[in-house]
Amino acid sequence: MSRIIPIHYRKLVKVFEKDGWKFHNQTGSHIHFVKSGFERPVTIPTYKLVPVFIIKNNMETAKMSRQRYLELLQKV
């Protein structure tokens, strides 16, 4: 299984959009996404390279498995 590595925020946005998350708003340098059935939004900072711990925290919030994340990442 591949490792999760830091990626550009635009690519991470596409991954979550493919999983059904919709843009809600942007506060400064943070983009917020919401999805029906989830109480907490996914927040993606607009960094050139989003750190792994932020990606993993967002995956946990979205209840997204490592395998699902990697599949979506390949499609982007």
Cα separations (Å) of 42 from 2, 14, 45?
23, 13, 10
Q: Give domain status of residue 4, yes or no.
A: no
Domain count, the chain: 1
What pLDDT does residue 2 have? 84
What pLDDT does residue 3 have? 92
What pLDDT does residue 1 have? 66
pTM of this prediction?
A: 0.94
Q: Give domain status of residue 33, yes or no.
A: yes
What pLDDT does residue 73 have? 96
Contacts of 34 (CB under 8 A, 6+ apart): 21, 22, 24, 41, 42
If we measure between CA atoms, which residue out of 12, 25, 26 comes closest to residue 61?
A: 12
Residue 62 has pLDDT above 70, yes or no: yes
Which residues span the domain enclosing 68?
A: 9-75
Q: Give domain status of residue 24, yes or no.
A: yes
CATH number at residue 31: 3.30.920.30
**22-57, pLDDT tens digit by residue?**
999 999 999 999 999 999 999 999 999 999 999 999
Q: What is the mean pLDDT of the chain?
A: 96
Q: Give domain status of residue 38, yes or no.
A: yes
